Structure 1
Amino acid sequence: PELAEDPSYATNAARTRGRESTDAVVAGALGKLSADEAVERLEAAGIACARLNSVAQLAGHPQLAARDRWRE
């Protein structure tokens, strides 16, 4: 809650200027969560997010297979 009042985090430009501090805050808030837990909390808060998949996860993604995205 106190971050909402801090001008260092009020705008994207401010967060970008303080990238190291911003990264530390995010890592502190999400670093102990699994990817699923982090995505669940971010989505519940209405924060845009996406999972970063490995190449193997991408190749095995069910939606891409269902849409016939892979060709031999």
Structure 2
Amino acid sequence: RRKAAERQVNYQKTHDQGTGFLNRAALEAVVEDTLQSLEHGHQSLIVINVGFSNARSIQTRYGFEAFDEILKEFR
């Protein structure tokens, strides 16, 4: 039980509650670790940032839950 609770707390620290995506701090850590591991190899890393210019209006009109569902479509 304790291990499961610790895993749950760690997940909550590193993920967005609504979408399940990594939060900014966790994503930056993963990208940094990946870049360091690729530094001496011949592999590449592509990071794509998708932004919504109308995110605030979608959230206001339809709610945060609806916007989270839209974001989940990009998983």
Q: Same fold by TM-score, threshold 0.5 exceeded?
A: no
Bigger relative contact order, structure 1 or 2 (CA pairs below 8 A, ≥6 apart): 2
Q: Tell me the TM-score normalized by structure 2.
A: 0.26
**Is the radius of gyration larger for structure 1 or structure 2?**
1
